[in-house]
Amino acid sequence: MVVDLEKRDVVTIEDLSNGEIEAVFSLADEMSQTMAEQSSVCQGKIMASLFFEPSTRTRLSFEAAMNRLGGRVISVMEIGQTSLAKGESIADMARVVGSYADIIVIRHPWEGAARVVADYADVPVINAGDGGHEHPTQTLCDLYTIKKERKTLEGLKIALWGDLKYGRTVHSLAYALARFGATMHFRPRRGLEMPEHVMRKLTTEYAGRLERYNAVKDVEKDGLFPLDAVYVTPSGPHQLANIPAVGIQMELKTDVDAIYVTRLQKERLEPAGEAGESERSYPVVDKKLLREKGFRETIVMHPLPRVDELAYEMDADPRSMYFKQAARGVPIRMALMSLLLGARKVELPESKGPSFAHHRDYPVYDRDTGVRCRNRNCVSRQGTEARYMKHKFHIVASEPLTLRCIYCEHEIHPRYIASSKWHQGIVEKKRYYSADSFMLARIRPENLIIFDSEAAAEAQGFKPGKRGKAP
């Protein structure tokens, strides 16, 4: 089977199937063994490197990768250096940069910014981190490292530590691990738990089971670390489901394959509230922890940069993988870019073919009825983008009605609904209903009108419908 990724974008890790991820790894293996022979693979190609947030590893490894492939790099590193500072929209910038370069790599503080660039640029776009949303190429480096060290990606047990709320690397990684059948232990700093929309996706789209354990005192008493939740893939052990309290003890006593540590994402904390929490204890990985039962064979991973959550004493420990993870960024990004540019294709055995087709065809909601994404950091909420951008959502569930922003993937639960069919332009028939009434089931997605509030419905000429009675 030939894997061809020409002209594709990588905005989230879900843009690549399991088979395509394996293809990137196989090409990265080949390229790292024959580095000197790669210098004309992307000759004549230009990569635009747009880094509007601090970066060392990601930017330099992308740039090193393109240089090693024989291509060239144009770059900006600050919004202040670009016309974005003059009030230009991301869409306009994307169109223009797409006409100068063959591939765009973007890092931006707004969640969903990379999606907008991909929508407007005519060349492949790689998300190198968009706010607290995703960082798919870091996940490729992480999975590649796990695969090299553990010899498989299937059925592993991985603990995710630290800032799981704003750490974009753990969001992409959790989706990928779920697809490869991993069990995950979530061990967040208090208040920085995995966001609900990530948890929901893990359980609904990846069909795994989530066991929440935030208050299990026995676990702490046992000398083991307190957990927020455990994610078990559909193929995982059944004991957990049947007898949770016993199941969790058994789960913790068996070995963890990897601990993935992240730093506190200080720059993303809510200005009020979360900053004060930062003094609270943050999980720290050190030699003492790695002596505990269950961790003796555990590899230690970190996307870097580290601050205080990972002791320097771990650097000499053979289980520490973080510098290897960073070093592998170059062959991984060489492989990915040469595939997206169509400069290489990869032959894979059939068994490694695309085993995962994520894209669910959720209905889209993009009517202008005042429904907005609530995430203040979402690209759709920014003044420069509001001029052209429609608020767009996937309707992902009906009980309760749940809309997922197509840019940042945060979810909202609007409270009122109506149908465009019933009133057919006749003002007297314009009625709205509560979103949790049975009326929702009677309206086809393409006719659905959604409001955030009664005032919004009334402002558009709708009157309250009699509860439960169809017009």
Closer CB to ligand NCD, 299 or 304, in the complex: 304
Closer CB to ligand NCD, 304 or 341, in the complex: 304
What is d(CA 43, CA 148) in angstroms, rounded to the nearest whole number?
Answer: 30
What is d(CA 152, CA 154) in angstroms, rounded to the nearest whole number?
Answer: 6
By the 10 Å C-beta count (0-12 exposed, 13-18 middle, 19+ buried), 72 is classed as middle
Write the CB contacts of 294 (distance below 8 Å, at least 6 apart in sequence).
224, 252, 253, 254, 255, 256
Closer CB to ligand NCD, 158 or 443, in the complex: 158
164-186: b (≥16 Cβ within 10 Å) or e: bbbbbbbbbbbbbbbbbbbbbbb
Tokens 């995430």: give the residue.
375
Closer CB to ligand NCD, 58 or 419, in the complex: 58
Closer CB to ligand NCD, 138 or 338, in the complex: 138
Instruction: State the nearest-atom distance from the C-beta of 40 to ligand NCD, in Å.
Output: 28
Side chain identity at residue 446, one-letter code: E
Closer CB to ligand NCD, 302 or 394, in the complex: 302
What is d(CA 192, CA 264) in angstroms, rounded to the nearest whole number?
Answer: 9
Directed axis angle between helix 113-120 and helix 90-100, to 10°? 50
Instruction: State the nearest-atom distance from the C-beta of 188 to ligand NCD, in Å.
Output: 14
115: nearest Cα among 441, 453, 449, 405: 405
Instruction: State the nearest-atom distance from the C-beta of 111 to ligand NCD, in Å.
Output: 12
Instruction: State the nearest-atom distance from the C-beta of 193 to ligand NCD, in Å.
Output: 17
The residue nearest ligand NCD at its CB is 303
Give the count of beta carbons closer than 10 Å to the beta carbon of residue 115: 26
Instruction: Using CB under 6 A, list all residues that contact ligand NCD.
Output: 57-58, 129, 135, 138, 168-169, 262-263, 303-305
What is d(CA 369, CA 371) in angstroms, rounded to the nearest whole number?
Answer: 6
In this structure, what token pair is assigned to residue 337? Answer: 């870019």
Closer CB to ligand NCD, 266 or 444, in the complex: 266
In this structure, what token pair is assigned to residue 128? Answer: 């190198």
Instruction: State the nearest-atom distance from the C-beta of 57 to ligand NCD, in Å.
Output: 5
Instruction: State the nearest-atom distance from the C-beta of 307 to ligand NCD, in Å.
Output: 9
Instruction: State the nearest-atom distance from the C-beta of 145 to ligand NCD, in Å.
Output: 12
Instruction: State the nearest-atom distance from the C-beta of 162 to ligand NCD, in Å.
Output: 9
Closer CB to ligand NCD, 328 or 415, in the complex: 328
